[in-house]
Amino acid sequence: MKAVVAQETGPPSVMTWTDAEPPKPAPDECVVKVEACGACMHEVLVRRGDRAQGTGFPIIPGHEVVGEVVEIGADVVDFAAGDRVVANQRQRVCGKCRECRMGRETRCPRKVFLGDIGLNGGYAELVAVSDGSLVKVPAGLTSPHVAIASCAIGTQLNALRDVARLELGETVLVTGAGGGVGLHAIQLAKAMGARVVAQTTSRNKVEAVREAGADEIVLVERGADYGKDVMDVTGGRGCDVVLENVGAASFASSVKTVALHGRLVLVGEVQKTPPRVEADLVGWRGRDISIRSAASTTRRQLEDVLTLMERGVVTPVVTDVLPMSQAPRAHQILESGSATGRILLVPDSAG
Ligand SMILES: [Zn+2]
Ligand SMILES: [Zn+2]
């Protein structure tokens, strides 16, 4: 088969579209013929060697896979050749540990990500994924954009619904609102009956943020304190839920905007080695706020995202579709931070 192989850590050019050994399914795995694979900052970190857990090379990156099952392992019963499936970022979780049993498989200690630590991922014509990490795509969803359902949308559903417990009528601040996850957070929060304040540092992303449904847009210079701007557009009350998609660089501003009894959820971190942030314990305690975090997506959350997509409640925002041989170009776009929405890669052989 053909695949994008990164031979070693380095610049985007270490990735080449070349011949690779096709995967053989383990007993619990399906081999999926890749229709499309999202390009994600996670793979940029893998390629640069910036993952704290390390990485094995050579590697085929990619974890946002949609495609068709072409071969199944001996123990697979829920899938058959011909099923169109989407992967839930991970190649497998154990399904047996305390976290898995409690529906918190994103924290399974034995989880293995696709395209990470020596496990080949979805920038390829074929990829092997365990049956526990696959979900069948509803027949009504024919677009390859479904590839981003787990990473770009499911993570935000996790944060808003299951971690922040967003309630009808509350106000939500979405930071990094013009990016590939922020735009979906806006759509979800609106669908959940929230008023949405969107923070962005890019003037050229304002239109997309407005289109996604934001009620208020706070456009600020990169690095500027936007705490007062958010308080102004919320009548001095602040936001019940703050989705922190940027990380340490904007935390100090964000935490000031958390309303009484509000919840701040840490989702993204854009810096490799973020600085320490200060804790204003007296100020936080005086507002009874919670600071929590959310990572990736459970299979249930992915299924829910697919249902929401099928009903037209949330629409994946994809701005570029590139052949896999142009994976280096996709990474350059990601590293520049210029993309509004997500980037998809499709095998060159798909035409
Ligand atoms: Zn991703
Ligand atoms: Zn587990």
pLDDT tens per residue across span 153-189: 999 999 999 999 999 999 999 999 998 899 999 999 9
What's the rounded mean pLDDT across residues 19-41? 97
Q: Which ligand is nearest to the CA of 41?
A: 1
pLDDT at 118 over 80: no
pLDDT at 274 over 90: no
pLDDT (0 to 100) of residue 59: 93
Q: How far is the centre of ligand 1, averaged over its atoms, from the C-alpha of 70 (Å)? A: 24
- C-alpha count within 13 angstroms, C-beta hemisphere, residue 301: 27
Are 292 and 265 within 8 A, CB to CB? yes
Q: How far is the centre of ligand 1, averaged over its atoms, from the C-alpha of 167 (Å)? A: 27
pLDDT (0 to 100) of residue 339: 85
Q: Return the closest-CA partner of residue 212 out of 243, 236, 181, 248.
A: 181
Q: How far is the centre of ligand 1, averaged over its atoms, from the C-alpha of 200 (Å)? A: 20
CATH of domain 2-143+316-350: 3.90.180.10
pLDDT > 70: what percent of the chain? 99
Q: Which ligand is nearest to the CA of 44?
A: 1
Q: Which ligand is nearest to the CA of 295?
A: 1
Q: Which ligand is nearest to the CA of 88?
A: 1
Token pair recorded at residue 105: 């498989």
Q: Which ligand is nearest to the CA of 122?
A: 1
Q: How far is the centre of ligand 1, averaged over its atoms, from the C-alpha of 280 (Å)? A: 32
Q: How far is the centre of ligand 2, averaged over its atoms, from the C-alpha of 108 (Å)? A: 4
How far is residue 117's CA from residue 88's CA, in Å, rounded to a whole number? 17
pLDDT at 271 over 80: no
Q: How far is the centre of ligand 1, averaged over its atoms, from the C-alpha of 204 (Å)? A: 23
Q: How far is the centre of ligand 2, averaged over its atoms, from the C-alpha of 14 (Å)? A: 33
pLDDT (0 to 100) of residue 76: 98
pLDDT (0 to 100) of residue 119: 86
Q: How far is the centre of ligand 2, averaged over its atoms, from the C-alpha of 156 (Å)? A: 22
What's the rounded mean pLDDT across residues 30-42? 96
Strand ranges, E, within the chain? 2-6, 15-19, 29-39, 64-72, 84-87, 90-92, 112-113, 126-130, 134-136, 171-174, 195-200, 216-219, 239-244, 258-266, 290-293, 318-323, 342-346
- Ranges of CATH 3.90.180.10 domains, the chain: 2-143+316-350, 152-293
Local confidence band at 328 (pLDDT 50, 70, 90 cut-offs): very high
Q: How far is the centre of ligand 2, averaged over its atoms, from the C-alpha of 93 (Å)? A: 5
Q: Which ligand is nearest to the CA of 92?
A: 2
pLDDT at 56 over 90: no
pLDDT (0 to 100) of residue 268: 82
| Range with the largest mean pLDDT of 37-41, 54-58, 110-114 | 37-41
pLDDT (0 to 100) of residue 351: 62
pLDDT (0 to 100) of residue 171: 98
How far is residue 316's CA from residue 59's CA, in Å, rounded to a whole number? 28
**Quick one: fold of 152-293?**
Quinone Oxidoreductase; Chain A, domain 1 (3.90.180)
pLDDT > 90: what percent of the chain? 86
Q: How far is the centre of ligand 1, averaged over its atoms, from the C-alpha of 89 (Å)? A: 7
What's the rounded mean pLDDT across residues 61-89? 97
Could you tell me the maximum CA-CA distance found in the chain, to the nearest angstrom?
Answer: 61
- C-alpha count within 13 angstroms, C-beta hemisphere, residue 21: 7
pLDDT at 47 over 80: yes
Q: How far is the centre of ligand 2, averaged over its atoms, from the C-alpha of 98 (Å)? A: 7
Neighbours of ion ligand 1 (CB under 5 A): 40, 42, 151
Q: How far is the centre of ligand 2, averaged over its atoms, from the C-alpha of 28 (Å)? A: 15
Scan for tokens 């936001």, then name that residue.
239
pLDDT (0 to 100) of residue 166: 98
Q: Return the closest-CA partner of residue 248 out of 230, 268, 221.
A: 268
pLDDT at 270 over 80: no
What is the DSSP-derived secondary structure letter of residue 116?
B
Q: Return the closest-CA partner of residue 216 out of 252, 253, 174, 179.
A: 174
